[in-house]
Amino acid sequence: MNEFFLIVLLVLVTFVFLTGLCRALVMSKRSVALIEKYERDKNNPKLIHEIFEIISKDIYLGNILKKNNATEKDIFALHKKLMKFGDFRKYNRYVPITSFFNKTTLKYLLEHKDDDAKSLTEKMMNHFHI
């Protein structure tokens, strides 16, 4: 009986781990796709709409948006702030886009949306080790 319980527990932990890993890979892939798509058109309003649409559909990021009553206008304002000091790409990271696809950074951005552009960008750059 004990062995059965441990096997079930191991299967559940493995499932949760693999599900989380797959979600992280999917979100990373979507972020990189947007970075590449808008690399030469960074101020296109469609970018903000696509970011908001993707993160709204994600269960974790969508809950963060709802909890903070975030709208597309909030994402636009935050993106504008991040563009001021973080408009450069390092590998597959581009602060004005990548920051919205991570639970920790999205939560921080929405909770500190009234902070100045420099402090928000520095916080995001530190998070992504840029």
Tell me what pLDDT residue 18 has.
92
Look at residue 103 and tell me whether its pLDDT is greater than 80.
Answer: yes
What predicted TM-score, i.e. pTM, was given to this entire model? 0.77
Percent with pLDDT over 90 in the chain: 8
A 10 A CB-CB count for 90 gives: 12
Q: Under 8 Å CB-to-CB from 46, ≥6 apart: which residues?
A: 38
Is residue 20 very low, low, confident or very high in pLDDT (cuts 50, 70, 90)?
A: confident
Q: Tokens at residue 23, please?
A: 């979600």
The mean pLDDT of 49-63, rounded to a whole number, is 88
A 10 A CB-CB count for 97 gives: 26
Look at residue 29 and tell me whether its pLDDT is greater than 80.
Answer: yes
Tell me what pLDDT residue 14 has.
93
